[in-house]
Amino acid sequence: MSSFSLGKIFLFATIFLASISNAFCNQENDSLSSLEKKAYDPVPDIMHHISDSHEWHFWGEGESAVTLSLPIILWTDNGLVGPFLSSKFHHNDNGQIVVIVDGHSLVKIHDKIYELNQGQKTAVFDESHHIKNGILPLDFSITKNVACMLIAFFLLLLFFIISGIKAKNNKTAPSGLLSFLEPLVLFVRDDIVKPNIGKNYKKYLPYLLTLFFFILMNNLLGLIPGSANVTGNIAITLVLSFITLIVTNFSGNKSYWGHIFNPPGVPLALMPIMIPIEIVGIFTKPFALMIRLFANITAGHIIVLSLVSLIFMAQSGLGDIAAWSLSPVAVVFVLFMDLIEVLVAFLQAYIFTLLTSLFIGLATVEEH
């Protein structure tokens, strides 16, 4: 291509970009104050998506919002309250979200439900914004995360029942759903569990298979728009890592505990230092599991939602032209991140199962 052609392309591109920039600037200067008021803040929407909730919001806002009301079950000092649907909550004259159920006055503040004192219908706060006239009951509600976990449970149950029946009756090469699940089961058994645990692997195989597919299914369901962020909830990863802690330490043999309370080859003078370090190590291993799964899944959701939010931020700050100009770039990056997130979904299930089997293997290995 000649230098003349390159010069013309550069000239047209410069004029085009200058005209767009000028249009943006004029649009911004004409209504700067109104745009500042309408500037889109993505943080509340992102935090709402990655956190748990008593209702399942799919899309829309206000009266046009599509939501699924979930059952609320509370245990207070006065006994069981509920179940009742979250749609019963309404705004009172003070703008608080309240409901009266069976004589119990309840108020929802930042997605936490408080029971108000007898006869109270409005929450009162102190200088630190803590509620003064209410208590926080035990919440056994079917929240968005719980509902998504139940969906994952029923899907796994359905998939494995169908595959199990097909594997039992089929004497040919696996096909369909079985051809997808069987390699994964064999991979977990032969490449994760057996090499790390050894000859006693069959004892732990059901738990580790359940762990792998539970994390994988919830990771994949979390990629569906409007779904719940189950494995990105630190309470869920805490329970999973706590189960690993219990299984590991209850499986520990004499050699495992001997290395903790009587580390071999350590001088007696260093025992007061090494033994506490070994005890702390018991808890740091599952703690690392908890943080790794939570952080990776949550970070992926935040990145995808942030990229989508760029379109609305451009629209509120620079107008429709900027939003349409940015949309193709944002969509490409979102699709790329979604593909990465599919890989991360499998990878995090693999890593959690691998490290759990490794910890169990270290606790059950025979002394040489």
CA dist 105 and 137 (Å) reads: 12
CA dist 99 and 103 (Å) reads: 10
Q: Specify the pLDDT at position 367.
A: 64
The dihedral built from the CA positions of residue 301, 307, 310 and 311, taken in this order, carries a sign that is negative
Query: How sure is the predictor about 157, in pLDDT bands with cuts at 50, 70 and 90?
Result: very high
Mind listing the pLDDT tens digit for each residue in 234-287?
Answer: 999 999 999 999 999 998 888 878 778 877 777 787 778 888 888 888 899 999
Provide the token pair at 67.
């939501």
Residue with tokens 């748990």: 52
CB count, 10 Å around CB of 273? 10
Give burial (CB, 10 Å; 0-12/13-18/19+) of 303: middle
Q: Specify the pLDDT at position 62.
A: 66
CA dist 330 and 322 (Å) reads: 12
How crowded is the C-beta side of 309, counted as CA atoms within 13 Å? 16
* Mean of pLDDT values over 301-330: 81
Mind listing the pLDDT tens digit for each residue in 80-108?
Answer: 887 888 888 777 767 677 777 777 778 78
Domain boundaries, the chain: 71-141, 145-364
Mind listing the pLDDT tens digit for each residue in 186-240?
Answer: 999 999 999 998 888 888 999 999 999 999 999 999 888 878 888 988 999 999 9
DSSP codes joined into one string, 15-84: HHHHHHHHHHHHHHHHTHHHHHHH----HHHHHHHHS--SEEEEE--GGG-EEEE-EEEEEETTEEEEEE
Query: How sure is the predictor about 362, in pLDDT bands with cuts at 50, 70 and 90?
Result: confident
- Most confident option among 121-135, 256-270, 291-305: 291-305
Mind listing the pLDDT tens digit for each residue in 106-117?
Answer: 878 777 888 777
Residue with tokens 């806002």: 61
Nearest-CA neighbor of 78 among 116, 40, 31?
116
CA dist 257 and 136 (Å) reads: 40
